[in-house]
Amino acid sequence: MLTLPLQSPDDFEGWRAGAKQALAQGLSSADVLFQVDGGEDDLFGEPPAATPSTPTVATTTPTVPKAFIDLARNVVCHSDSERFALLYRLLLRLQSERSLMAQPSDPDVWRASRLAKEIRRDAHKMKAFVRFRKTGETVEFGTGSTREQFVAWFEPTHNIVRHTSGFFMRRFTGMDWSILTPRGCAHWDGKALTFSPAVDKSQAPADDALEDYWRTYYASIFNPARLKTQAMQSEMPKKYWKNLPEAALIPDLIKSARERENMMVESEPTAPNPALMRNREMPVPTDGFIHELPPQAPLNDLGSLNDMLKNCRACPLWQPATQTVCGAGTQRASIMLVGEQPGDNEDLQGQAFIGPAGKILEAAFEEVGIDRADTWLTNAVKHFKFEPRGKRRIHQNPSVGEIDHCSWWLQRELALVQPRVVVALGASAVRGLTGKTHKLGDLRGNATPLASLMKKGRELPLELSGLGGNGANDTGVQLVATYHPSYILRVPNEQARADARTALLDGLRLAKELAA
C-alpha cells in the first residue's frame, strides 16, 4: 500500500499531487492511503505498508473535466474520513468513464456531490455568522492612516477556514482581522492572507462595546409579522447561537412577537413623504427621457435650485432611487468638486460624499489642508444608478445620455457657485461639465480653462454668466481633473492604489493653489 502524506485536512494540492503519483503507478483505490500529518487517516484500521503493492491498473497522464476539479476542491474540506479515497476512486474511474460526472445517480458521484453541498452550506453559515470584535488599532508606517484590528471566533462543522477566508479578505480589506476556529485560523493584515493552527475558544476576545449597537440594530429590524420560528432555526441553527451577540435577544423577541404584531395592525399608517409622492405622481414620458427641460425659474440661490432638483424626472434614474442627492457646501465656494453619482449611502441619506469614497476624500482634504465646509460638493448625476443583487444594490456607471440630461442642473450650479476652480473627480464628471468625452489621463496633473473644453453650444446662458465674481464662462475658471476616490477603493494593486491616492492629493493641492 502506498501512503501519501497531506499537510492539512483540506490539502487539495497535496491530494492532487499524490493522486497523480498513485495513478502513474497504476494503483487501485484499495492500494492508496492518504494520511494527514499528525492526525486522521483516510481509512480506519488499515496501517500503511512500507512499500506500495503491485500496480493493478494501467494508466496514462490523467485527464478530468473541470467539474471534477471544482467538486474536489469542495470535497477535500469535508470532515468525512473517506473523502480522499472517494475522490481518488472517481479520478480512477474518469480515465475510462468520460461521462461519469454527467451521471448524478452514480453512487460515487452522488456521495461526492452531497459532501460538496454540505461544504457550501457550512461556508454560507460562516459568512453569515462570523462576528468580529474590535481589539485595537495600528497606524501604518509611511501613510499615517489608521487600521482597525478585529478578531472573531467561529466553530465550523468542516475544514472550511482556508476555503472561505478569501470572502472575508475581499469583504473586509480595509481592516486587520483574525478568524479563530478549532479547525484552523485565518489572518489578514491588509497585505497578505495567512493561516495558523487551530486554537480553543479561550484565545477569543470577550464582548466589546460595539455589540450593544449590533443588538440594538437587530432588535430594531425584527419584524414580528414575518416571524417563522422553524424557518429561522433552519437558517440559523441553535449550535451557532452561543457565538452570536444578538442570539440572546431571540427568545424574548419570539415571545413578544404576537403582541407587537397586534399593535402594528391597530396603529395608524405612516404617511408617505410628500415630496417623494409628488415626484412619483408626475407623468412619465414613454421613452423615459424628458426632451424639454423645465422652464427656468428665478435662480437666486442654491436652495431654490435644489428644491427644483428634487422633482427632476429628466431621465429614468429617479424611479428606483430613494431620493435626489443635491449638492452641498458654501454658495460662493472658490473650489467646486464634481463626482460621478451618489452611492448607496448617499442615496439613503440624501447627502453627497458620505460613504466610503467620502471618507477617502475627507482624509485627502485633511492632508492637503482644505476645509470641506469651504467647498461645494456635487455630482454629475443626481440619482443613484444601481443593479439589485439579492439584498445588495451594486453601483452601475451612468450612461452618456444620463450624464448629459443631468448637466442642465450642473450648469446652473456652476453659475450660482461661480468657483475659481472646478475639480472633476473621474471621467463622468468631466463629461458632465464639458458635454464632451475626454480622456482623464490627458487632463490629469494640469489645470485647463473650463471654457476651452466645453462642447460648442454648451456655454452657460448669458443671463447666468454675469452674476459677479468668476462666471463659469470666464476663461479664468480652471478645471482640474483627477481620480474619483472610489477608484482608490476599487483598484486591487497596492502600488496602483498608492499612485491613485497621490494623484488625488496632487489634484487637490493644485486646486487649492489656484483658488488662493
Confidence of residue 466 (pLDDT cuts 50, 70, 90): very low
State residue 263's pLDDT score. 78
State residue 231's pLDDT score. 80
Cell for 101?
460526472
Give the residue from 126, 148, 183 where a domain finishes.
Answer: 126
Torsion of CA 191, 196, 199, 203, to 10 degrees: -30
State residue 282's pLDDT score. 47
Confidence of residue 46 (pLDDT cuts 50, 70, 90): very low
Domain count, the chain: 4
Residue with cell 444608478: 385
Judgement on whether residues 160 and 188 belong to the same structural domain of the protein? yes
- pLDDT tens for 70-99 read 999 999 999 999 999 999 999 999 999 999
- Domain span at residue 240? 210-266
Confidence of residue 8 (pLDDT cuts 50, 70, 90): very high
Give the range among 6-10, 76-80, 456-460 with minimum mean pLDDT: 456-460
Higher pLDDT, 417 or 262: 417
Judgement on whether residues 29 and 81 belong to the same structural domain of the protein? yes
The CA angle 284-290-296, to the nearest 5 degrees, is 120
State residue 105's pLDDT score. 94
- Return the CATH number at 440: 3.40.470.10
Confidence of residue 262 (pLDDT cuts 50, 70, 90): confident
Judgement on whether residues 219 and 300 belong to the same structural domain of the protein? no
Confidence of residue 463 (pLDDT cuts 50, 70, 90): very low
Judgement on whether residues 224 and 154 belong to the same structural domain of the protein? no
Does residue 54 surpass a pLDDT of 60?
no
> Averaged over 289-297, what is the pLDDT?
47
Q: What percent of the chain has pLDDT over 70?
A: 84
Nearest to 428 by CA among 410, 415, 416: 410
State residue 453's pLDDT score. 87
Q: What percent of the chain has pLDDT over 90?
A: 47
Contact (Cβ atoms closer than 8 angstroms) between residue 372 and residue 333: no
Judgement on whether residues 359 and 480 belong to the same structural domain of the protein? yes
Judgement on whether residues 318 and 289 belong to the same structural domain of the protein? yes
Strand pairing category for 185-188 and 193-196:
antiparallel
Judgement on whether residues 429 and 457 belong to the same structural domain of the protein? yes
Does residue 207 surpass a pLDDT of 90?
no
Judgement on whether residues 251 and 382 belong to the same structural domain of the protein? no
Distance CA 184, CA 199 (A): 7
Give the residue from 78, 108, 126 where a domain finishes.
Answer: 126
Q: Following DSSP, what letter does each residue of 84-130 receive, concatenated? A: HHHHHHHHHHHTT-TTGGG-TTSHHHHHHHHHHHHHHHHHHHHHHH-
Judgement on whether residues 350 and 381 belong to the same structural domain of the protein? yes
State residue 38's pLDDT score. 66
Judgement on whether residues 259 and 366 belong to the same structural domain of the protein? no
Does residue 51 surpass a pLDDT of 90?
no
Confidence of residue 120 (pLDDT cuts 50, 70, 90): very high
State residue 415's pLDDT score. 86
Does residue 197 surpass a pLDDT of 50?
yes
Judgement on whether residues 235 and 153 belong to the same structural domain of the protein? no
C-beta contacts of 180-186 below 8 A and 24+ residues apart: 180/151, 180/152, 180/153, 180/154, 180/204, 181/153, 181/154, 181/155, 181/156, 182/155, 183/9, 183/156, 183/158, 183/159, 184/8, 184/159, 185/161, 186/161, 186/162
Across the chain, mean pLDDT equals 83
Does residue 57 surpass a pLDDT of 50?
no
> Averaged over 371-384, what is the pLDDT?
94
- pLDDT tens for 224-239 read 777 788 887 778 888 8
Judgement on whether residues 295 and 405 belong to the same structural domain of the protein? yes
State residue 389's pLDDT score. 84
State residue 56's pLDDT score. 42
